[in-house]
Structure 1
Amino acid sequence: MSGLLYICDYGNNSDSDEYEVENKLPELKRSKKLPVPNLSHIPAVSVEQHIDNPDLHNGRVRSFPHVRGNWATFVYVKYDDEESLVKFATKLQNLLLGVKDLFNLCDDFHLSLSKTVVLNYHTIVPFTQSLKEVFCDSERFYLGFDNIDVLCNEEKTRTFIVLKADYFSVKSLTSLVKKVDNVLGEFKLEKFYKEPSFHISLLWAKGDHKGKLESLLENVNKVISTEVVRKLESVLIDKVYCKSGNKFYKYSLE
């Protein structure tokens, strides 16, 4: 009997110990809470906001607001003999009796093949690469002029006195614009004017002075037309340019 009692006691103790081990949960140690970092000594970085000041640009106003990440872009050709254009523009300004002081000499002589459009940074490379592809088989040509005209920008904030391309130049320029328009269409950007006026802006003034100048320029054109033919010779256009923000691209014509 005493042996059986020991067996029973052993069995009971073993079952009890096993039960206690299985149901005993391990104690979880709480991790210490990290202290909140002190950022008081780090200066706050404000978001840069560009405020356009026309006084810094002779009163010129942007056609669209400056936005970080947006790159103003346009395609154009250049008349390389800039010195001749400056002399011609200065002489023209002196002929504008009564309104001479309204006008300023343009600081960049170019002939646009597109409107100014907005590109995001990541689209600049594919856009300019597409231009390279469409210009690879374009022929060089001579750019000449035949008369002057008065134009206003779309916002009617500025008036320009411009030198207009002659008939033969227009044919070649129109061909280039069609190619540029195809690229603009691929990127869902606004195309050039349906009836473009191919010109180089020489003088500009704030506001809309077109009505005042049109009658005046009829007489000026009579005086200046021989000057255009004699002094401003046709120049060979063998390159097309694209400006996107502060980046410049150049494409050679055949």
Structure 2
Amino acid sequence: MALVQYSDSEDTDPEPQPPKKKLRKDNASEKLPPLPAAFRDLYATNTRVSVHDDPSLHGGRKRVIPHVEGNWPTHIYLEWIPGRGELKMLEGILSKCNSRLEDQKLRMHSLLYSDLGVQLPLHISLSRPVVLRTEQKESFLELLRHRVTNSGIQRFNVVPNSLYWVSNYERTRWFLVLRVARPENNALNRLLRISNESLAVYGQPPLYASPTAQRENGEKSEKHTSQPTKEEQDYSECFHISLAWSLTEPSAEDKTRTMGIDLGPVGQTEISFDCVKAKIGNVVSSLPLK
């Protein structure tokens, strides 16, 4: 029997299709949940683009600690990730600083964003950039964790109080920094002491403290408490958050101009810290405060 041809208009009705879901725009009140704190620790290291020290890849910066097999660059610090409003205020401060600089050779590089425009976390250092050997990594981290846990130091806030210029130990870079006021319970000095004493056990130099004082503290390394004593020196004026860097040392006039800038709302911003960060190689560990 011959097949009968049907025109398109004579097709049977198609099977009913389920209704398409409408894409719903997020309301302003519906925000994505924040990333867990450990997420940033997993991606805290930039992709290595060269196995050799090439300053041209890093804005002219020279590596302080060279790549050596078996050596692990180590840094102890407190991390601050500014919110959107805080970030805008910090950008405003850097803009004011740039407008007041008279030395045209002084080029400031912001530490707020990466070269790709990604926001970077800021920090308060509790150690120099130091080096641990492979066999020292685990025992050092356990010692530091033990001392932080048993210190009794609770979560605390700091408030920025002034702008300042500082250099690294090699005087190869200068940093525009936010100094912070001494927090309640002297938490910064106490954490600095914990970091210095822990690193002294492994023969590493202290941050801010003199080597003589560090050797004396190192002899007491078996003690796992970090209660401050009257004899301890106060390093409150040394603690800071770096905002930008330059390969050129600012002139005395430029330092005075930038240091005189009013912080505005930044001077009333409370920055909270609830853990100490230990970065060993490309691994970041969080040591919670009480």
What TM-score do you get using the length of structure 1 for normalisation?
A: 0.72
Offset of residue 108 of structure 1? 4.2
Any unmatched runs of 5+ in structure 2? 1-49, 112-119, 210-234
Partner of 1:104: 109
1:175 aligns with 2:193: no
What TM-score do you get using the length of structure 2 for normalisation?
A: 0.64
- Compared CA separation, residues 252 and 229, structure 1 to 2 (3 A): same
Partner of 1:227: 265
Offset of residue 210 of structure 1? 5.0
Offset of residue 218 of structure 1? 4.0
Greater share of helix: 1
Residue type of the partner of 2:76? V
Aligned pairs (5 A) from 1:180-219: 180-194=195-209, 195=235, 197-209=238-250, 211-219=252-260
Offset of residue 138 of structure 1? 2.4
Partner of 2:169: 154
Secondary structure in structure 1 of the residue aligned to 2:122:
coil
- Compared CA separation, residues 71 and 110, structure 1 to 2 (3 A): same
- Compared CA separation, residues 85 and 208, structure 1 to 2 (3 A): farther
Aligned pairs (5 A) from 1:53-202: 53-95=54-96, 96-97=98-99, 98=102, 102-106=107-111, 107-136=120-149, 137-168=152-183, 171-194=186-209, 195=235, 197-202=238-243
Offset of residue 104 of structure 1? 1.1
Offset of residue 145 of structure 1? 1.2
1-structure distance, mates of 2:281, 2:69:
11
Partner of 1:51: 52
2-structure distance, mates of 1:99, 1:89:
22
Secondary structure in structure 2 of the residue aligned to 1:215:
helix
2-structure distance, mates of 1:108, 1:60:
19
Residue type of the partner of 1:174? N
1-structure distance, mates of 2:85, 2:240:
16
- Compared CA separation, residues 90 and 207, structure 1 to 2 (3 A): same
Secondary structure in structure 1 of the residue aligned to 2:52:
coil
Offset of residue 170 of structure 1? 8.8
Partner of 2:214: none
CA distances 1:26-58 after superposition (whole Å, capped 9, x unpaired)? xxxxxxxxxxxxxxxxxxxxxxx9421011111
- Percent identical pairs in the alignment equals 25
Q: Which moved more, 1:70-79 or 1:165-174?
A: 165-174
Q: Tell me the matched-pair count.
A: 201
Q: Pairwise CA RMSD of aligned residues?
A: 2.2
Residue type of the partner of 1:103? M
- Compared CA separation, residues 163 and 235, structure 1 to 2 (3 A): same
1:242 aligns with 2:278: yes
Partner of 2:20: none
Any unmatched runs of 5+ in structure 1? 1-48
Partner of 1:26: none
